[in-house]
Amino acid sequence: MGHIFLACLVLLSCLGSLFSTQMAWAERMVTDLSRHTIEIRSQFSGTELLIFGAIEREILQGDGGHGVSIEGMDYDIIVVVQSARHDMIVRRKELVGPIWVNKDFYTLKNVQGYYAVASTRPLRKILSEDNLRILQAGIEYLDIDFIEPISELEDAAYRAGFIRNMKAKKLYNQREGTISILDDILFRAILEFPANMPVGQYQVDVHLIRDGEILLSEESPLEVGKAGIERIIFMFAHEYPSYYGIMAVIVALFAGWLGGFISRKMSE
């Protein structure tokens, strides 16, 4: 049985290479997320997201153009996850008299509150810097621009300070070489989200690359929102702040009265 199977396989691969010299081959990629919504509830303490997919690599092209021979294990995958963009302020502490005080600041135009990138190999080995910049793949290639005029030296210092902050809060993550492609077909990437992740619409991009060329890009949406009681409290506080304030006072007065009542009963 085994020999027959092997013989068939050899025959098939011979046929394959025969066709490949005559026909064009292109890849197809299917990707999905372990879930498309992340809900922040009362026990939320950060989460993981599994991004997986399959590469289908021998598809006959209808137009019958020139074929390219496809060697094994030469695909690369880059996964980029980013939240909606908004403005942020970066402040720097300076010594004023004896104490450290927030002094100068610059405003960042439209930056991601959350950003993560994962890849099969170090990014620079997969793509050129220009292409990485186009894909916004890699923290150092992100468009991080200040609204205010800023000197080159300060730009570098503030940008580095911003990235250090975001990395420390686990809001910016770079995980090169963490994706493995199984049998040249299946791949999976696991990305982590901290509890303080911003809410809103996220975008997940999966790029298929070979020989420094972006073959395919798949985009999936990801929705991050507060849910349950957390959502009700947050929305209430931000949409109806004065009613929220009155509610907070009433809750406190009642809870305080109740607490006093219980402890009086207990000590009697």
- Residue 251 touching another protein (CB under 8 A): yes
Which of these ranges, 12-20, 50-58, 87-95, 203-211, lies near another protein under the rule CB under 8 A? Answer: 87-95
Neighbours of 91 (CB within 10 A): 13
How many residues line the site for another protein (CB under 8 A)? Answer: 65
Of the residues 102, 128, 180, 201, which one makes contact with another protein according to CB under 8 A? 102
Please list the residues that pair with 33 across neighbouring strands.
51
User: Taking a C-beta distance cutoff of 8 angstroms, is the pair 156, 150 a contact?
Assistant: no
Q: Phi and psi of 25, rounded to 5°?
A: -115, 145
- Residue 73 touching another protein (CB under 8 A): no
Binders of another protein in range 115-154 (CB under 8 A) = none
- Residue 166 touching another protein (CB under 8 A): yes
Alpha-carbon distance of 52 to 180, in angstroms, equals 11
User: Taking a C-beta distance cutoff of 8 angstroms, is the pair 166, 43 a contact?
Assistant: no
Q: Report the residue number, 108 or 179, with the smaller CB distance to another protein.
A: 108
Of the residues 10, 14, 105, 129, which one makes contact with another protein according to CB under 8 A? 105
Of the residues 24, 70, 88, 214, which one makes contact with another protein according to CB under 8 A? 88
Owner of token pair 């197809």: 28
User: Taking a C-beta distance cutoff of 8 angstroms, is the pair 77, 189 a contact?
Assistant: yes
Of the residues 1, 4, 168, 182, which one makes contact with another protein according to CB under 8 A? 168
- Residue 98 touching another protein (CB under 8 A): yes
- Residue 91 touching another protein (CB under 8 A): yes
Burial 171-181 (b: 16+ CB within 10 A, else e): bbbbebeebeb
Of the residues 6, 9, 68, 255, which one makes contact with another protein according to CB under 8 A? 255
Of the residues 11, 164, 186, 192, which one makes contact with another protein according to CB under 8 A? 164
Alpha-carbon distance of 12 to 107, in angstroms, equals 60
Q: Report the residue number, 3 or 238, with the smaller CB distance to another protein.
A: 238
Of the residues 62, 238, 265, 268, which one makes contact with another protein according to CB under 8 A? 238
CB of 83 to another protein, least distance (A): 11
Alpha-carbon distance of 85 to 144, in angstroms, equals 11
Q: Phi and psi of 221, rounded to 5°?
A: -85, 155
Residues 39-58: x where in contact with another protein by CB under 8 A, - otherwise, as a string: -xxxxxxx------------
Alpha-carbon distance of 78 to 137, in angstroms, equals 8
